[in-house]
Structure 1
Amino acid sequence: MAGLTFGFAGSVNPLRDPVSDYAWHRGGRLLFAVAVLLLLAAAGALAAAAHLAALPRTPLASVLFVLWTAGLIVVLVFRSNVSATDPTVSGEIHRVGGAVLFTSLPLAARTLSTRLRTEPRWLPAASAVRRGATAGLVTAAAFGLTQLVGWLPLGLLERAALLGEFTIVATVATALRRAVR
């Protein structure tokens, strides 16, 4: 995402414009797709590592993680609106996918952290995952407010929410790595 932000600095305002606007500029669609595909690959790697590490989980956490990956796929497949004042079916589906991905991963991590607290082996990871979940929830809520309060910096808060998502992925990956050592 940082590469997209700096590479398209003259075309996309990172304070105001959503991340998916990169896809509307020459070369941006491919780079946006690669970024989302890398995040999907990270999701697959986390799922495999969770299985190998015998990560305790709940059905709710599993469903929320699946919803997160579904949200990623939706924002990849359906193009965003060119303009907020001229919505399209594809753009509205893209927005719903974004809402699902920004909501479901922090909730999944929060649910997972609660489950991990019941297992002595996973207790150190539980606190770290909960902190990541909290960061994700706070940044997702701030970004969600931009849908209701027009003067908030949508682009900046979406990038903060993405950073929250990356924090969760990194936190869970670190917890899994430490658990298998």
Structure 2
Amino acid sequence: MSEKTAGTVTVAGTLVALLAFGYAEFMLPDRPLLSDYALVSGGLLPVVIGMLALASACLSLAYGLATGEPGRTAATRVLLLAAAGGLMLCALFPTDATVIKSASGEIHRWAGAVVFTTLPVAAWGLARGRAALPRWTAVKALSVTSAVALAVYLAAHPASFTSPWIGGEAYYGLLQRGLVLTEVVLVAAMAVAFMIRRTVMAPPVTGAAPAARDERLAA
């Protein structure tokens, strides 16, 4: 699989994840969190498909990075693999209703924590040190947005001691949905930013052939 194909597979995986989560959100009875849809009739399949599709997107992106920039992207690839593993565990081990009280629920919770924390760090690491181009700026902005959304979500979650102070129980589900959306888009943004690198032609010099430089050297 080529670098370009890996990027295409990544974007396709994020689109499938968005469609699956969107189906659960709009077609099933309201639940506090997205993962809770797996507990209602007809909700397990779309939730599992969404998680596995996003896991596949992370894996294909890691493969593309290994093909295109094996040395520079090592840390990002490790984080993407960790996120993919966390998503697979979330799919295999459903959460509990209301209060976490089973081994499956604990695995789901901590695997989700891995996903939510690794993806923003992976994106920031991938974009750090590159040229100030719009696509890399967008990746950085999305990674910061995701990190801030995660912090606010954790503060608002009913299990947090700060939740009563900020009335988090009323809107923590909305925050989680925003966080999931941001991170799905973030994976796609990383793939697109990395995939559209092009060879930039330098201005022609009299008596000399145009010189080409790879944007990766300037990025």
TM-score normalized by structure 1? 0.83
Specify the alignment match of 1:146 in structure 2. 156
Picking from 130, 139, 148, the partner of 2:140 is 130
Structure with the larger RCO, 1 or 2 (CA within 8 Å, 6+ apart): 1
* Cα-to-partner distance string for 1:132-166 (whole Å, 9 max, x where unaligned): 21121111112221331153122111101101101
State the SS of the aligned residue for 1:167. helix
Q: Is the 8 A contact 1:53 1:180 kept in 2?
A: no
Q: Runs of 5+ in structure 1 lacking a partner?
A: none
SS of structure 2 residue aligned to 1:179: coil
Instruction: Output one character per residue of 1:89-127: Cα deviation in whole Å (capped at 9) or x when no partner.
Output: 21111111111110110011112222x42xx5xx52432
Structure 2: segments with no counterpart, 5+ residues: 1-20, 200-219
Q: Is the 8 A contact 2:58 2:81 kept in 1?
A: no
Spell out the pairing of 1:4-153 with structure 2 (5 A cutoff).
4-8=24-28, 11-13=29-31, 17-54=32-69, 57-84=72-99, 87-114=101-128, 116-117=129-130, 123-124=132-133, 125-147=135-157, 148=160, 149=163, 151-152=167-168, 153=171
Q: Identity of aligned pairs, percent?
A: 30
Q: Is residue 153–residue 172 contact of structure 2 (8 Å, CA) maintained in 1?
A: yes
Distance 1:98 1:91 in 2: 10
Report the residue type matching 1:112 in the other structure.
L
TM superposition shift of 1:48: 2.7
Which of these two proteins has the greater Rg computed from alpha carbons?
A: 2
Given that 2:94 and 2:105 are in contact with CA atoms closer than 8 Å, whether structure 1 keeps it comes out as yes
User: What amino acid sits opposite 2:173 in the alignment?
Assistant: G
TM superposition score normalised by structure 2? 0.70
Q: Hey, what does 1:162 align to over in structure 2?
A: 180
Look up the match of 2:193: 175
Identify if the C-alpha distance between structure 1 residues 106 and 39 changes in structure 2 by more than 3 Å, giving closer, same or farther. Answer: same
- Picking from 23, 27, 35, the partner of 1:3 is 23
CA-based RMSD of the aligned residues comes to: 2.0
Structure 1 residue 75 displacement after superposition: 0.8
Whether the 8 Å CA contact 2:39–2:97 is kept in 1: the answer is yes
Distance 2:30 2:94 in 1: 16
- Residues 44 and 60 of structure 1: CA distance in aligned 2, closer, same or farther (over 3 Å): closer
Q: Which moved more, 1:46-55 or 1:103-112?
A: 46-55
Q: Which moved more, 1:149-158 or 1:74-83?
A: 149-158
